[in-house]
Structure 1
Amino acid sequence: MKMKIFSGPTFLITVHLIYLITIPRVYSSLPLPLYAPELFLECLDAQPADPGSRNSRAAVIPTDSSFSTNLMRAVRNLRFASASTRKPEAIVAAVTETHIRATISCCKHLNLELKVRSGGHDYEGFSYTSPVPFVILDMYNFDKVDINLKDETAWIQSGASLGELYYNIAKTSKVHAFPAGVCPKVGAGGHFSGGGFGNLLRKYGLSIDHIIDAQIMDADGKVYRDRRSMGEDVFWAIRGGGGGSYGVILAWKLKLVRVPENVTVFKLERTVEEGVIDLVHKWQQVAPVIDKDLFIRLEIKPVYRRTTSKCKTKTINVSFIGMFLGSPERLLNIMNKRFPELYLREPDCMVKKWIDSVVFWAEYPENAPLEILLEKISVNESYWKRTSDFVQTPISKRGIAKIFQTMIYHSPLPRRVWMQWNPWGGRMAEIASDETPFPHRAGNVFMIEHFMNWYAPGNELEEAFLAISRSFKMAMTPFVSKNPREAFLNYRDVDIGITTPGYNATFEKAKVYGEKYFQGNYLRLFQVKARFDPTNFFRSQQGIPVLE
């Protein structure tokens, strides 16, 4: 090996790089020199580059003035923005595939873990944090969306947001949509690789049920331009099995779905004093089996209720939030027959273009311009914990009352512990559990997302709120799925199990969380991983492992 590897490095840096390249590569925390970021930049510029450019121009390191801005622009959970949180050695905001390939190569040479971030919404911060030295590959600039109405498809790069996808669809067609999440700032890369869930679920299923092709780069920098070249097993795995366990997803090809030019939405609020326990009980019987065009989410929150001019007590407020692919007249006809107790009336129904319903569900101002969907950087972020559950047997009225009492007990102030209940059924019950890695199909009545938010930093405060969140989750045990207690990969939760910091996980160790996310599909994911990423370069605390 020639000693002069880079243009102009010091002798010490050159010798240290040679040492790192030639030692056996293991995935534990190796001591890195204080100048590791500079060493990483030197390595980037030693790799093949695009004409007239240097790879390091796409990177920032902690000594750069823009480092904090680049790090924080996609940190959605402030729990992972504290001074004690390990920071990356570098952030590469890739503009071309060459930048991605160089980043992979240098992370391998320097034994740095690679974290791929599209929108930064990973609930446990896995896309931008690590307990070992790491680099963030930020896909922020990979945000192109191409709509083809001739075959009703779209190619979307993994750094594009759902809002950008929805905006581009609406600019092209009034009668097309895509079934995905209701938060416009979520990045396509992570959302689709985890499943992709939204309010078109009962009509069309998940996002992954409408992904028909993809492009991925492997640990050797090879790009597979379609499902045929990567193999059907890999294409199966990345649609719901967590694409980050296999490679860098560059883009997805989507099959668009049809929606009416006008849809109907509504939001009704009821409290315990207004008989909401009976309504929630009835909702379980109706929402999963009602017309596929109708999706009714429950948002359940503890609130204060004024009893006298001086006194307030806590109660539970439930919002019934509806999305209907049709007219108010047809919606009211369905509801009057199947759920008259909710007392939905014509003034409650809002007729909107599909793209305007996106703005409604995102809780943006009603008169906001559609360009608000293109905003990718969030403000006013908070500290939070999210978890998930699946319910397979309707909960009794007594059980609902107990849950509400427990919510009030665990909420010293309003809206700390709250939930969303999302009905299953419809198309979800028609898709086999092994059609994709996402197994939670038929047999589920609804899915729960648990929320805990707080608004000030501090380790003691964080531990107190996490304890409340875990205690409430434990209290929900009698009402949710069992053996295993299932969980949704898009709603990452470290409490259901993680691997060790070195990530030398065995099949059995990772099975603790693998079966909760994937049930019987976990074994097949493990087998695909062994073939496509045998060195376990793409790894995380809840990744798919390879044999030791």
Structure 2
Amino acid sequence: MGEDHFWAIRGGGASFGVILSWKIKLVSVPEVVTFFLVKKLIKQGATTSITDLVYRWQQVVDTLPQDIFIRLEMSVEKNESIQFQFFGQYLGQSYTLLSIMNQQFPELGLQQKDCIESSWIETTLYWDNKPKGTSLGSLLYRMVNQSFPFKVKSDYVITPIPKAVLEELWKKMIKMGIGMIMQWNPYGGRMNQISESETPFPHRSGYKFLIQYWYYTQDNSKVESLRKLYDFMAPHVSQSPREAFLNYRDLDIGTNQNGANSSIFGAKYFKGNFERLVRVKTKVDPDNFFRNEQSIPPLPK
């Protein structure tokens, strides 16, 4: 298919054709890995300790050894409280993990009781909140629950968000109520070793974490409160452009109207790679057969 076309389909979105088959290169993982989960439930007015912890998470999460991954998820619960969950995985055994964490991130307070040692494939069950002991066969019979509509937005963070801003963020989340979730996924590690032009996905070195704003609601009027929260975060995330993650599709940042507005969302999703994607699209699909609201447009004929 040519080098450019092959480059474009590995991260450029559904704009270049239909892929019928592919090959992947596997990587080795240890026979035993460790999954862990630490939960904190904080009520309004008692947030100082969790704010300090989240601020520290921002400082260290992208500098930990690259075989440690710690996701932070925040969800609004009843009685004006927020549950903070630190999901983690380490490519090794728990005693080594605990030693590293005690040295580099003791503030989390990780303990042996928080850890589960298993094979890598078994950890996929824990990430999906399945109870310990669930059969791997259940992975073959998963049902997608589409009964709850939701709105998603995203941001990239380069420098830690100040504590005062975090405190205000907790208040705004509580005001939005049950259904408001934020997921912060760390970068660093292997991500820092890959050029931003290696594939169309450009968000590599220098990023601390990715934010996913996730609001379950059946009331379209409430979506506006999520947009206001997104506006509140603007000074504390990536700038010029304010970047976004393609797979958290957000039509608020622009839609494709015969290519007229594509450079706006194109820069947010792909940065400098957008121009190369347009050239590839023009070559392989000049009539724009493969298109959607945010697909890559061809150049005008």
TM above 0.5: yes
Q: Which residue of 1 aligns with 2:204?
A: 441
Q: Which residue identity does 2:250 align to in structure 1?
A: D
Q: Which residue identity does 2:266 align to in structure 1?
A: G
Q: Which has the higher contact order (CA 8 A, sep 6+)?
A: 2
Q: Give, in whole Å, the separation in 2 of the partners of 1:376 and 1:493.
A: 26
How far does the alpha carbon of each residue in 1:305-325 deviate from its partner, in whole angstroms, 9 at most, with x for none? Answer: xxxxxxxx4132211111111
| Contact 1:245–1:544 (Cα < 8 Å) also in 2 | yes
Residue pairs, 1:45-124, within 5 angstroms: none
The alignment status of 1:532 with 2:289, answered yes or no, reads: no
| Contact 2:9–2:16 (Cα < 8 Å) also in 1 | yes
Give 2:188's match in structure 1, choosing from 425, 442, 445: 425
The alignment status of 1:470 with 2:227, answered yes or no, reads: yes
- CA displacement at 1:341 relative to structure 2: 1.3
Q: Which residue identity does 1:350 align to in structure 2?
A: I
Q: Which residue identity does 1:468 align to in structure 2?
A: S
Q: Give, in whole Å, the separation in 2 of the partners of 1:331 and 1:356.
A: 18
The alignment status of 1:492 with 2:249, answered yes or no, reads: yes
State the SS of the aligned residue for 1:257: coil
| Contact 1:332–1:346 (Cα < 8 Å) also in 2 | yes
| Contact 2:281–2:297 (Cα < 8 Å) also in 1 | yes
Q: Give, in whole Å, the separation in 2 of the partners of 1:380 and 1:473.
A: 24
Q: Give, in whole Å, the separation in 1 of the partners of 2:210 and 2:92.
A: 24
- CA displacement at 1:493 relative to structure 2: 0.5
Give 1:290's match in structure 2, choosing from 49, 59, 64: 64
The alignment status of 1:248 with 2:45, answered yes or no, reads: no
| Contact 1:277–1:400 (Cα < 8 Å) also in 2 | yes
Q: Which residue of 2 aligns with 1:301?
A: 75
Q: Give, in whole Å, the separation in 2 of the partners of 1:376 and 1:510.
A: 36
The alignment status of 1:369 with 2:135, answered yes or no, reads: yes
- CA displacement at 1:368 relative to structure 2: 2.5
The alignment status of 1:349 with 2:115, answered yes or no, reads: yes
Q: Which residue of 2 aligns with 1:107?
A: none
Larger of the two Rg values belongs to structure: 1
- CA displacement at 1:398 relative to structure 2: 1.2
The alignment status of 1:318 with 2:91, answered yes or no, reads: no
Q: Give, in whole Å, the separation in 1 of the partners of 2:9 and 2:277.
A: 9
TM-score normalised by L of structure 1: 0.53
| Contact 1:410–1:472 (Cα < 8 Å) also in 2 | no
Q: Give, in whole Å, the separation in 2 of the partners of 1:352 and 1:367.
A: 11
Q: Which residue identity does 1:533 align to in structure 2?
A: D
State the SS of the aligned residue for 1:249: coil
Q: Which residue of 1 aligns with 2:33?
A: 263
State the SS of the aligned residue for 1:234: helix
Give 2:157's match in structure 1, choosing from 391, 396, 409: 391
How far does the alpha carbon of each residue in 1:276-335 deviate from its partner, in whole angstroms, 9 at most, with x for none? Answer: 11110111111110111110000112223xxxxxxxx41322111111111111000001
Q: Give, in whole Å, the separation in 2 of the partners of 1:396 and 1:466.
A: 26
Q: Which residue of 2 aligns with 1:281?
A: 55
Q: Give, in whole Å, the separation in 2 of the partners of 1:513 and 1:277.
A: 32
Q: Which residue identity does 1:427 align to in structure 2?
A: R
Q: Give, in whole Å, the separation in 1 of the partners of 2:110 and 2:212.
A: 25
Q: 1:299 to 1:240 in 2, by over 3 A?
A: same
How far does the alpha carbon of each residue in 1:55-105 deviate from its partner, in whole angstroms, 9 at most, with x for none? Answer: xxxxxxxxxxxxxxxxxxxxxxxxxxxxxxxxxxxxxxxxxxxxxxxxxxx
5+ long unaligned stretches in structure 2: none
- CA displacement at 1:377 relative to structure 2: 4.0
Aligned identity (percent) is: 45
- CA displacement at 1:380 relative to structure 2: 5.6
| Contact 2:279–2:299 (Cα < 8 Å) also in 1 | no
TM-score normalised by L of structure 2: 0.94
Q: Which residue of 2 aligns with 1:332?
A: 98
State the SS of the aligned residue for 1:364: coil
Q: Which residue identity does 2:125 align to in structure 1?
A: V
Q: Which residue identity does 2:208 align to in structure 1?
A: V
